[in-house]
Amino acid sequence: MSVQQPASRLQGKTALVTGSTRGLGRTMAEWLAREGASVIVTGRAESDVHQAVTAIQELGVESFGITADLSRVSEAHKLAGEALSRVDQLDILVNNAGMSIIEDCWDVSDDNYEYQMNVNLRSPYILSQRAIRHMKEHGIAGRIVNISTIGVHRTHGDRAIYNIAKAGVEMMTTAMAYEVGPLGIRINCVAPGAMAQRPGQPEDPEAWARTAEHIPAGRIGNADDIAAAVTWFCLPESEFTTGQTLLVTGGHESHLRGG
């Protein structure tokens, strides 16, 4: 297999992408690698991490992996500590890892609440905090990109805790961006809409077609749509943009707004 030569806009940069062994996170990691960034892969399963690292190295950049279960606060700190100890500098953090438990709001247990809040909000906060300290100490004009959901703007009916946590992610984006802007650090957020082929979900083209009827762009989104937005927030061209949440939804929320 021939090795593809990466582009140069992120040459010399190092990116940590959480939840990057598959799905949206894997695609984000590959897009950043194609722009020349070295990539730190994370995931819960060591075999998945190894496979993703190998694939990204074949794109012509350096990559290594760290296993972490971000439902545990201690694991978020461990991930940050190990990542920062293994690189000279961290330039990009993408807080992609996320999950939801589908259930009625009145049935959510304390354990399920804590699990979802830890994965979707608390761990991203910890990782962002540790990354900001590192960037501040080393004078790095870094980038942090958080991942939210259309559910913050037009709620899912059975994912209350997920939507609440992601709303927190969007406010975290705004609050942190305001504080660190003078340091040259830019923090933004991407909110995906309806996505095809979500990890763990069966393929259902008929359901996608029905959903696409309500999307002005005329189709369901895909991983490349999200990775393109994430990558732009990491490029020099986006230097004057910070504290923003970009909805990458094909205009889906405009239909929901209209009923």
**Distance in angstroms (rounded) separating the CA atoms of residues 233 and 126:** 21
| Bridge partner list, 2 | none
Contact present, 195 and 24 (Cβ < 8 Å): yes
Instruction: Give Cα separations from 215 to 49, 164, 206, 246 (angstroms).
Output: 34, 24, 15, 17
**Given strand 186-192, what is the order of strands in its sheet?**
63-67, 38-43, 14-17, 92-95, 143-147, 186-192, 245-248
> Given 113, 125, 162, 178, which residue is catalytic?
162
Annotated catalytic residue 162: yes
**Distance in angstroms (rounded) separating the CA atoms of residues 21 and 155:** 27
Contact present, 169 and 147 (Cβ < 8 Å): yes
Catalytically annotated residues: 162
